[in-house]
Amino acid sequence: MYSLLLQAQPNSTQSIISNVLLWVGIIVVFYFFMIRPQQKKQKDQKSFIENLKKGDNVVTIGGLHGRVVSVEGTTVMLEVDRGIKMTFEKTAISREATVKPAEPEKKQ
């Protein structure tokens, strides 16, 4: 029986090391594919909100499109239509609205 215990120890040590390496690998992959990209996205969003300026076309988190008329502290005034201005918190701005001009149709 004593000989069986001595033989079992090297295998258990190897299995512990392989289990630890497996978990370390999983954590590293999880960090690089899940946590790091999310942190980068949050950093980019914060930078975008801090650098809002007059004339930027933006979309709010509610889907409202508008042009920035003024930026004051934590609020932004958007012009959503001619003469219609609305005030939003900066945190309500989701992204920049890039309006691409329509390509002219080719006549055949």
b vs e for 26-43, b when ≥16 Cβ sit within 10 Å of the residue's Cβ?
eeeeeeeeeeeeeeeeee
Fold classified for 53-100: SH3 type barrels. (2.30.30)
Can you give the pLDDT at residue 106?
Answer: 61
Please, are residues 87 and 93 in contact by the beta-carbon 8 Å criterion? no
- Domain range list for the chain: 1-51, 53-100
pTM metric for this prediction: 0.61
pLDDT tens across the length of the chain (108 residues): 444 444 445 567 888 999 999 999 999 999 999 999 999 999 998 998 988 889 889 999 988 999 999 999 889 999 998 989 999 999 899 888 775 555 566 665
d(CA 20, CA 22): 5
